[in-house]
């Protein structure tokens, strides 16, 4: 019997587990995930895109104290080159070293959850291998859903595919690569391909847009989140769409890409791709783009992912068309069943799926757990 079981042991699930361990030192807390560490999926995607610095600020990390990453950097000899710009955005190396250190104490169950069902006042999780685990409280902290693919490119390689790095390693250095997408991942991958000697064409429907963060930074703190919390739930999806900045990139990524565009090492075309043809792509206006390889860098699909969709259908829990779970202020979807990550956006705001969202979810659940534990003797 576990007190807390978190389904999903990535950045969100592992940070939430650490928060719960700190709030209730005697509680039995574990994450369930087939991956070996909290960073497995993160590193796979970062490797595929060629990420060097995080987009989020130094304040967004997996530690428990606000200054945890800064203190870790000082104590482990990370110099100023590991903090970029006004927001001191951490290098990937610094962030990952710190994340590995602070999540190493989280117990992990190496399994994939297949089914979730209430069992009296508790919850039972059945794994794909047929094992059963029971917990008093369950947190669903799934990673991003499947990569977004247009209908015309359903079989194409995507930078967020699980085996993308291995697949692309065999491509000839002389290959001409067409990259479909206009955001940070497309720009980072285009830059990495150009550095490797590939001819690169980048295609997007919109102009290349520069933006420091992928949503309004006001929603990282109480000033905007307090206003957001006062809105009726029905009005929140529209606001979320309004304050998010999809298909954008920060200034450093934009500058590096612009330098490559200036030397023609990367070519950028604006247009709507509508079909593949024998040697490349066809655009809506009739233009054709020749390419040896076509790669999608189009982000993640909408929706909550298969686990939450299965739970919503099986237990008749509210999940809207945006993939947002209708949860209460304690992130509870049902008694003892909580939701974190992007599906919790209606409560945590536009950063719910980011590292800041992991912090917000962890603090809220830890406060609830601590309050419940402090009241327990009164009910003995």
Separation between Cα atoms, residue 148 and residue 303, nearest integer Å: 10
pLDDT over 60 (residue 165): yes
Model pLDDT for residues 32-51, shown as the tens digit of each residue: 999 999 999 999 999 999 99
Mean pLDDT of 221-235: 96
Model pLDDT for residues 282-333, shown as the tens digit of each residue: 999 999 999 999 999 999 998 899 999 999 999 999 999 999 999 999 999 9
Verify that 48 and 78 share a domain, yes or no: yes
Verify that 181 and 306 share a domain, yes or no: no
363 belongs to a structural domain: yes
Mean pLDDT of 221-230: 96
230 belongs to a structural domain: no
Residue 376 — very low, low, confident or very high, per pLDDT cuts 50/70/90?
Answer: low
pLDDT over 50 (residue 380): no
Average pLDDT, the chain: 95
Model pLDDT for residues 175-193, shown as the tens digit of each residue: 899 999 999 999 999 999 9
- What pLDDT is attached to residue 373? 83
Domain count, the chain: 2
- What pLDDT is attached to residue 377? 57
327 belongs to a structural domain: yes
Verify that 292 and 344 share a domain, yes or no: no
Verify that 136 and 20 share a domain, yes or no: yes
Verify that 51 and 164 share a domain, yes or no: no
Verify that 121 and 192 share a domain, yes or no: no
Model pLDDT for residues 263-287, shown as the tens digit of each residue: 999 999 999 999 998 889 999 999 9
The beta-carbon contacts of 72-75 under 8 Å, at least 24 apart in sequence, are 72/97, 72/98, 72/101, 73/98
Verify that 161 and 269 share a domain, yes or no: yes
| Tokens linked to 120 | 């009296």
Verify that 30 and 73 share a domain, yes or no: yes
Go through the chain and tell me how many residues it has.
380
CATH number for the domain that contains residue 317: 3.50.50.60
H-helix or E-strand spanning residue 358: helix 355-375
Verify that 140 and 155 share a domain, yes or no: no
| Tokens linked to 327 | 């949860």
Verify that 114 and 26 share a domain, yes or no: yes
226 belongs to a structural domain: no
pLDDT over 70 (residue 152): yes
Of the residues 296, 311, 326, which one is the last residue of a structural domain?
296
Verify that 285 and 350 share a domain, yes or no: no
Domain range spanning residue 326? 2-145+301-379
Give the whole-number percent of the chain exceeding pLDDT 90: 92
63 belongs to a structural domain: yes
Residue 96 — very low, low, confident or very high, per pLDDT cuts 50/70/90?
Answer: very high
């Amino acid at each position: 019997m576990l007190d807390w079981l978190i389904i999903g042991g990535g950045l969100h699930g592992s940070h939430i587990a650490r928060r719960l361990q700190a709030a209730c030192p005697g509680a039995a807390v574990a994450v369930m995930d087939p991956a070996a560490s909290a960073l497995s999926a993160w590193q796979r995607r970062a490797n595929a895109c060629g990420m060097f610095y995080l987009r989020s600020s130094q304040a967004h990390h997996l530690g428990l104290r606000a200054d945890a990453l800064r203190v870790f950097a000082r104590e482990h000899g990370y110099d100023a080159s590991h903090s970029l710009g006004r927001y001191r955005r951490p290098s990937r190396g610094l962030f990952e070293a710190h994340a590995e250190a602070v999540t190493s104490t989280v117990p992990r169950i190496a399994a994939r959850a297949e089914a979730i069902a209430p069992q009296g006042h508790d919850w039972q999780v059945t794994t794909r291998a047929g094992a059963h685990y029971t917990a008093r409280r369950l947190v669903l902290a799934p990673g991003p859903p499947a990569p977004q693919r247009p209908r015309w490119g359903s079989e194409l390689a995507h930078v967020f595919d699980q085996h993308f790095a291995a697949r692309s390693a065999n491509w000839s250095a002389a290959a001409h690569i067409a990259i479909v997408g206009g955001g940070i991942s497309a720009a980072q991958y285009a830059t990495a391909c150009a550095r490797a000697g590939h001819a690169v064409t980048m295609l997007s429907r919109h102009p290349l847009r520069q933006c420091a963060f992928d949503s309004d930074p006001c929603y990282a703190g109480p000033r905007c989140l307090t206003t957001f919390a006062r809105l009726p739930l029905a009005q929140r999806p529209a606001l979320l769409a309004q304050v998010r900045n999809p298909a954008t990139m920060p200034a450093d990524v934009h500058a590096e890409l612009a330098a490559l565009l200036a030397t023609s090492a990367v070519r950028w075309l604006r247009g709507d791709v509508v079909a593949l043809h024998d040697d490349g792509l066809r655009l809506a206006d009739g233009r054709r783009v020749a390419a040896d390889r076509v790669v999608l860098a189009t982000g993640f699909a909408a929706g909550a992912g298969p686990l939450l969709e299965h739970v919503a259908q099986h237990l008749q829990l509210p999940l809207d068309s945006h993939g947002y779970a209708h949860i209460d202020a304690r992130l509870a979807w049902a008694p003892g069943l909580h939701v974190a990550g992007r599906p919790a956006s209606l409560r945590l705001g536009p950063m719910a799926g980011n590292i800041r969202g992991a912090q917000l979810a962890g603090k809220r659940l830890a406060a609830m757990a601590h309050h419940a534990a402090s009241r327990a003797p009164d009910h003995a």
